[in-house]
Amino acid sequence: MTHAVLPRTLWFTRCPVPTATGIAADRQWLTDEFASDGISVRSLQDASPDADRAAHFTHALPGLFREGGNVPALWARSRGERTRLIGLTWIEERQTVLVAPGSGIRGAAALRGRRLALPRHDIAIDFWRAMALRGFEGALASAALEPADASFVDVPAAGYEGQWAAELAALRRGDVDAVYVKGALAVEAARRAGAEVAVELDDLPDRRFRVNNGTPRPLTVHQQLLDDRPDLVDRFLAVLLRAADWAAGQPGEVDRILGAETGAGADGVAGAYRPGTHLTLHPDLSAERLALLTAQEAGLRAHGFLPEPVDVAAWTDPEPLRRAAALVRHHPVPLSPEEPAS
């Protein structure tokens, strides 16, 4: 098979959450993998100011690999961007519904009739708003309630700095009764605000109630790169699989990397990510994860976040992950010099 000319640069982007991409970047394994080809591997987050940072959401950069939230990924595909879904992860990130101290609101059933905060950001795809809406929907559904059983309150986010700052300010003012948050920075923000937890979505046994922007989290690549250089896609994925294998035996190092990736302190990381997170970084395309992503697509489309439907099955290409797994079987993760064999 004749391949197209090697690209000079491969790009990757990930959200500030646990990802195999973040692990591989920290260990320099992506750089090492393609160095002999003369290919530079660069992070969109660390690129110069003139880089197309909007590609994290639009995926309009053909040489880009993205491991991030499903709201922008589905939105980009819905807008006609020629991306392919090549993997999915499921990593719990402590999704919670917060209430004011002393409110007495406890449990999902207590959200009936309450005012629920929906942030509004002036961005092309308001994934923050989508996260809050879907989080509340999951909490309500777990108590056999519908969105109509509560009141949603718009909270303009302009003028506020920090994740969930606008919603938490509205909670302090008494403008809303409950706020949805998730992740390590949310744990720290909630503590600073003195907010109390009404619902721990991660404790809900049915995963359907925990479907949101990061659950499941897609790994996507542009169709052009997949058409031109499928071998590069396979090798990139193989590095991620090896990184996930390595992480499974390095919980302390994963915690360190998570602190750097999320920007949170040790308490925030420990509060957001449960023991065993280091075991959950492997992407797959299981029927369960694809079904949960399909449910997320339907929910986002119903609320107007997607301009056109996305056929998740047609979007999915399982072959790169299969080929990458074969590469890993032949060449498992190498030990770093400072990691002697046990």
- Per-residue pLDDT averaged across 73-95, rounded? 96
The residue among 53 and 232 whose pLDDT is bigger is 232
Q: What is the pLDDT of residue 266?
A: 67
Q: What whole-number distance in Å separates Cα of residue 324 and Cα of residue 23?
A: 17
Angle between helices 287-302 and 70-78 (to 10 degrees): 70
Q: What is the pLDDT of residue 271?
A: 61
| Pairing of the two strands 115-120 and 151-156 | parallel
pTM: predicted TM-score of the whole model, two decimal places: 0.92
Contact 66, 300 (CB under 8 A): no
> What DSSP designation does 215 have?
B
**Radius of gyration over alpha carbons of the chain, in Å?**
20
Q: What is the pLDDT of residue 18?
A: 78
Q: What is the pLDDT of residue 51?
A: 61
Q: What is the pLDDT of residue 335?
A: 46
Q: How confident is the model at residue 270 (pLDDT cuts 50, 70, 90)?
A: low
Convert 47-58 to b/e letters by CB count within 10 Å (16 or more is b): eeeeeeeebbbb
Q: What is the pLDDT of residues 16-36, one digit of tens each?
A: 777 899 899 999 999 999 999
DSSP 267-299: HHHHHHS-TTGGG----B--HHHHHHHHHHHHH
Q: What is the pLDDT of residues 210-222, one digit of tens each?
A: 999 999 999 999 9
Strands, E assignment, 187-314: 196-200, 217-222
Q: What is the pLDDT of residue 197?
A: 94
Contact 321, 89 (CB under 8 A): no
> Does the pLDDT at position 237 exceed 60?
yes
Sign, CA torsion 116/119/125/131: negative
Q: What is the pLDDT of residue 82?
A: 97
- All structural domains of the chain, each given as residue ranges with its CATH number in brackets, are 9-91+217-330 (3.40.190.10), 95-210 (3.40.190.10)
Q: What is the pLDDT of residue 337?
A: 40
* Nearest residue to 232 (alpha-carbon basis) of 16, 12, 70: 12
Lowest mean pLDDT across 202-206, 252-256, 295-299: 252-256
Q: What whole-number distance in Å separates Cα of residue 162 and Cα of residue 189?
A: 9
